[in-house]
Structure formats: structure tokens, C-alpha cells
Amino acid sequence: MTTMTGTAPGLREFKMPDVGEGLTEAEILKWYVQPGDTVTDGQVVCEVETAKAAVELPIPYDGVVRELRFPEGTTVDVGQVIIAVDVSGGTSAVEPAAQAPVAEAPATTEAPAGGEPAEPKPEGRQPVLVGYGVAESSTKRRPRKGAEPRDRADGRPTADAQQAAAALQSELNGHGTAGQDTAGSGTADHGGARQRPLAKPPVRKLAKDLGVDLASVTPSGPDGVITRDDVHAAVAPAAEPEAPSVAEAPAAAPAPVAPASYDGARETRIPVKGVRKATAQAMVNSAFTAPHVTEFVTVDVTRTMKLVEELKQSPEKYGTEGLRVNPLLLIARALLVALKRHPDVNAAWDEANQEIVRKHYVNLGIAAATPRGLIVPNIKDAHAKTLPELARSLAELVTTARDGKTSPAAMQGGTITITNVGVFGVDTGTPLLNPGESAILAVGSIKLQPWVHKGKVKPRQVTTLALSFDHRLIDGELGSKFLADVAAILEQPKRLIAWT
């Protein structure tokens, strides 16, 4: 898949890539090049933030930057051209139009269509995103293989799909609503086959969310493309109330709603977008989809804390040289051992098929607070890792998250999560499930508390664990046994050996 087209000889246009995970837009965080700069194949030209992570985009060819289509801070639809590069090898100065400030570029610039050059060479710095863009322009459609070209409304054969769309639009303009009932509607041709309406992925998603059938929408865009305004216009008539009949008394007009106001001098409005927007939507979906249950247990973890210190003080004795050893490492190991004893906890609910999907692998999520919001990357196949391997994976996960370099793939496919709220001095909480997972364990702060130990009150290292789980998958007995096992291991870490 490529993202470049050419509107002039030697000019290549680079489009906002499609990461292949259902994302339809991304925000340009920072440009690393300006008009007139020379770029090479594989060079990172900008950083963008999707709803899942911040990633860097490499350019797939050599040349001179001619134009930046959008300024920093602009949210751009997948498939729109964001940068134009002259690959002809000339040394002419940048045209005046390209030297204009990028802030003047309209946010609704359409992506021109064009050809597709070869895939970039997989050398040097590899792109974080999958591919370099959509497979074809969103304003054109390729004819199906083996299919004959469709006839126009006037009976003459068309040259390609774009000419056919233009002919249909012309027919609409000439015959009004009568044409919409035939070929102009985009739903049927002379052969009776249903033709898919032309619309970009974000517009299709908008129509799906609003319950609008694109086949019933009248397009207003170039070449018969349906725009966002067309979809909203199709919804507007349905939203208008019907006029009351003469036999009915007119209803009292509702009082006008005062527009929201705020004190600009003492309040700040922050747009919700990117990772924070995706997190908010995921939490809403989780809270109102999965029936949550949360259970708590307070446990004496003094022996676990002593083991952590021993592993730190004598790394040569335990083979932990160069490893980051902390309580989270042993808590993660305790959870994995408890999952092995209670495999039904490691499952997912398939609503479409009404099935419970038991996972025979553990992708252990670790909630991480970053400057861009909360993310939950996961350690793939954590169940199969030794303690040193688990320690290295945890260290790498945390470092990558803090640097803002977590890839979208690292946040996909989690099965169960740990959130360590104790690092903020919090005793515990009632965490919400990461969507698609069955349980999440919250770990509170570990601190000295008076505790009855061997019949006497002594100061001991104590923490509170909270387990939230999906009650469709995990009943009270299973959830209680699982949480009790995690606590038992942390109270007596020798069980890590006995129960493995």
C-alpha cells in the first residue's frame, strides 16, 4: 500500500497513512521539515498522534519539500495529502505558493488522486505505522476484475469509473429528482447491479454512526462523492418534528436553551482528541457494556518486600544482574501463577456469537500514565517468560511508554491488566476493565501498618488489592478464589515455586 500521487511531472504527494486498525484520522503534532528542505527515502518528516499512540512518519522517496498542506495541531483524515515533494532532481527555488505559511492551508483540502509508485525500501529507520497509506484514492473506484465497463445514462460506454461518476452527476444536474430514482441515486445501473456509493472512510463511519444509508444520500462533492454535509443533510429532515394536525392543540414551544458560557479569563477549554479521546470512549464503552464487580483484599506483603531487597542486593546469587527488580515484578508473577490455577479468568466475551473465548496465552497489560494520557501496552505471551525475561519486558514497556514511543500494536490484544495506583500514594481503587478483557488488578500503596503477626501486633508492610472483573465471565466464587491466590502468593512468595 502506498500514499503518493503526482499532479505534476516530478511532484509526489504523501498522504496520511492508514494504520490498518480502523483509525480514520490523526493529528499532526510536529513537522521536522519545511518547504525547501531536502529529504531522503526513510527520513522522518513529521510526528502524528492517532487515537492509539504518537508515531513518526517517514517519507518513502528522495526529493525537495515543495509544500506542507496542514499546520501543526491539525487533525487530518486518513488518505489526505499532507506534504508535496519534488523528486525531479531540480534545484529550483520553492514556488511562492509553497512558501506561504502552512497555517493558511484549509483544513478541508481534498486529497488529489493519482498513480502509485513502488513500495519504499525497508532499509534504515523503519516506519512505525503499517504501510504508507490507503491502497487507492477515496474519490475513485477501480472496476471489478472481469467486469465489463458500465454504460452511462445516455447509453454510451464509459472510459473508467471516474468518467461514469461524472456522467451520472451530469445526469442528475440535468434531470433533477427524476434522475435520482434511476442511475443518479448510485444504487442501481442498467444491469440492475447495486453500485457502492462514493464516500471517504470517515464519511462512511459518520453515516454508520448516524444510521444513514449512503445509497439514499444525494452527493454534492466532486465526481459524485458524498461529503459530511450530505450525510448531515440526510439526517436533518428526519429530526424535524411533524406539523401538528388541525385537531391537535399546538404544543407549547420549549424554552430556548441558553448557550454554554464560561469565563475565558479564568477557565481553559482543552479539546479532547488523540489518545485521551480514545481512552474516554473506551472507558464509557467498558462501563456500560461489561457488568463490573470489584472485590478487595488487604494483605501482609512483608516477605515479598524482603525478597525484592534480596534480589536487588545479591543479583549474582539470583541471576538478576542488570535487571530492574521491584514489587511490580513479583506482583505480575503472582498474577500469572494465579491465572494458571484459574484459567477461566483469562477469557473474553464474544457478544456477536454469544460465546466465551478462553485464552490459552496471557498478554499482560500494564497501565501507564503518559503526558498524552493513560495507555495500556501489554507484554505478549507473558505466561511463557522466565522471571528475568519478565523483568526485561516490564522495563522496556515502561521506558517506551514514558518516551511516548509505544506502538499501536503494543496496545492491542491484551487479556488482563495490572494498574499500580500505589505509586501515587493511593490505597486502592475500583478500576474499569480495559475493553475486551475479563479482569484488572489494582495495587495500592505498600506501607507500614499495625498488623497481627504470630499473635502479636507488629508493624508490617501491608497493601490492598482490588480486582474488577466482568461478571458475565467470572462469577463471585471464581473471582474470589483468583484474588485470594494472588494475595496468598504475595504473603508467602515461596508459593511462586510450589504452585508453578
- CATH number, position 26: 2.40.50.100
Task: Indicate whether 191 and 65 sit together in one domain.
Answer: no
Q: What is the CATH number of the domain that holds 190?
A: 4.10.320.10
> Which tops the pLDDT comparison, 171 or 195?
195
Residues 187 and 280 reside in one and the same domain = no
Do 301 and 202 belong together in one domain? Answer: no
Residue 175 falls in the annotated catalytic set: no
The CATH number of the domain where 300 resides is what? 3.30.559.10
Give the chain's mean pLDDT: 77
Rounded distance between C-alpha atoms, residue 36 and residue 95, angstroms: 9
Q: Report if residue 410 sits inside a domain.
A: yes
C-alpha cell at 31: 513537522
The H or E element that residue 482 is part of is helix 476-491
Q: Which of 214, 231, 248 is the last residue of a domain?
A: 231
Q: For residue range 303-333, what is the model confidence (pLDDT) as tens digits?
A: 999 999 999 988 888 778 888 899 999 999 9
93 shares a domain with 185: no
Tell me, yes or no, whether 425 and 300 share the same domain.
Answer: yes
- Domain end residue (candidates: 104, 139, 167): 104
Q: 104, 120, 144: which is the final residue of a domain?
A: 104
What is the band of 67 on the pLDDT scale with cuts at 50, 70, 90? very high
Q: How many CB atoms are closer than 10 A to CB 109?
A: 15
Nearest to 219 by CA among 210, 208, 228, 206: 228
Cβ–Cβ under 8 Å, residues 113 and 166: no
Q: In angstroms, rounded to a whole number, what is the distance separating the alpha carbons of residues 127 and 44? A: 8
Which listed residue (175, 292, 360, 471) is catalytic? 471
* Boundaries of domain holding 300: 274-498
Residue 157 DSSP class: B
Q: Are residues 369 and 447 both part of a single domain?
A: yes
Terminal CA-to-CA distance of the chain, rounded, Å? 46
Q: Is residue 168 part of a domain?
A: no
- Report pLDDT for 404: 81
Is residue 256 situated within a structural domain?
Answer: no
441 domain residue, yes or no: yes
Write out the H or E segment, with its range, that includes residue 28.
strand 25-31
Is residue 108 over pLDDT 50? no
Same domain, 428 and 328: yes
**311 and 201 fall within a common domain:** no
- Tens of pLDDT, residues 362-419: 999 999 888 777 889 999 999 999 999 999 999 999 999 888 888 888 888 999 999 9
Query: Does residue 289 share a domain with residue 219?
Result: no
- Residue 448 pLDDT more than 80? yes
How far apart, in whole angstroms, are the C-alpha atoms of residue 486 and residue 440? 13
Half-sphere exposure of 228 (CA within 13 A, CB side): 7
**Residue 248 within any structural domain of the chain:** no
Neighbouring-strand partners of residue 31: 46
| 324 touches 487 (CB < 8 A) | no
Residues whose CB is less than 8 angstroms from the CB of residue 176 and which lie 6 or more positions away in sequence, other chains included: none
**What is the model's pLDDT at position 255?**
62
Total domains in the chain come to: 3
Q: Is residue 163 part of a domain?
A: no
Please check whether residues 360 and 463 belong to one and the same domain: yes
Predicted TM-score (pTM) above 0.75: no
Instruction: Clarify whether residues 297 and 387 are in a common domain.
Output: yes
Q: Considering the domain boundaries, does residue 159 fall inside one?
A: no
Q: For 143-178, how does the pLDDT look when each residue is reduced to its tens digit (9 = 90+)?
A: 444 444 444 444 444 444 455 445 445 444 444 433
Confidence label for 194 from pLDDT (cuts 50, 70 and 90): low
Burial class of 215 by CB neighbour count within 10 A (0 to 12, 13 to 18, 19+):
middle
- Say if CB 27 and CB 73 are below 8 A apart: yes
- Residue 243 near residue 235, CB atoms below 8 Å: no
* Residues 436 and 299 occupy one common structural domain: yes
Q: 128 lies in a domain? A: no
DSSP string, 295-327: EEEEEE-HHHHHHHHHHHH-HHHHT-TT----H
- Among candidate residues 404, 423, 424, 380, the one with its CA nearest the CA of residue 275: 404
Residue 67 corresponds to which cell in the numbers above?
Answer: 509544500
Confidence category of residue 256, pLDDT binned at 50, 70, 90: low
Looking at the DSSP assignment, which residues form a beta bridge with residue 452? 457
Per-residue pLDDT tens digits for 260-296: 666 778 888 888 777 777 777 778 888 878 889 999 9
